[in-house]
A = this chain, B = another copy of it.
Amino acid sequence: MTLSEENYLKAIYHLSDTEGKGVSTNKLAEAMETKASSATDMIKKLADKSFVNYKKYQGVKLTKEGRLIAASVVRKHRLWEVFLVEKLNFNWDEVHEVAEQLEHVKSEKLIEELDAYLDFPTVDPHGDPIPDKYGEIQADKKVLLSSLKPGEKGICVGLEDTSKEFLQYLDKIKISLGIELKVLEKEPFDNSVVLQFNDQQLTVSAFTTTNIYVRKS
């Protein structure tokens, strides 16, 4: 497993949400910030090693083996993110670049010990789930904040939009993972919502409420 192969597998993994058809060469090339011809070359190599199934012009799908490798890279990435935030005082929006490097460190013991050291977290600092060592993701029944009715409460467990701008905005208004949010009012005309948390009240836009996941509490 070279670094490049791992990154391609990870990209295919992330692009494989639509279960039906394979990931297109162009989409993959775009995600990898490279050219379609390079993607084709790598796809062939991954197919040779049977990490993906590939038919010309039909896109790629991960094999069981490829998916396990990809999931393990994602697992490492997200565990390191938790480590950086919880132990080394990184902010949400600073962890990605470093985790991109750490995720490629190879050591079974390292990652299992890290997992234990962090007390077996199930989500990363952005609320994305952490695959277990078998590549399985804990099914989670998180719902959008926008789906809560006035009077209901929920614990913030994840985000839809993980752009730097959004993360910084949340940071500014002091909404973070694990915080409990209560919906006080909903304005019907623009769907903005009045929230209560940390003994304060704040009005947030519909954009915000449709990009925050909560677990009802």
Contacts and interface: CB of A to CB of B under 8 A. Distances in A.
Interface stretch (A31-39, A53-61, A107-115, A180-188): A107-115
A102 B110 CA distance: 11
A199 interface: no
Interface string A86-128: 0111100010011001101111011001100100000000000
A105 B100 CA distance: 9
A110 B88 CA distance: 7
User: How many copies of this chain sit in the oligomeric assembly?
Assistant: 2
Specify the main secondary structure of chain A where it touches its partner: helix
Interface in A103-160: 104-107, 109-110, 113-114, 117
A116 to B, nearest CB: 8
Nearest to A113: B88
B113 A90 contact: yes
A109 B84 CA distance: 10
A121 to B, nearest CB: 15
A87 B113 CA distance: 9
B90 A109 contact: yes
A98 B90 contact: no
Interface of A: 84, 87-90, 94, 97-98, 101-102, 104-107, 109-110, 113-114, 117
The 9 closest A-B pairs by CB, nearest first: A88-B113, A101-B105, A98-B107, A98-B110, A89-B113, A102-B105, A88-B117, A87-B117, A88-B114
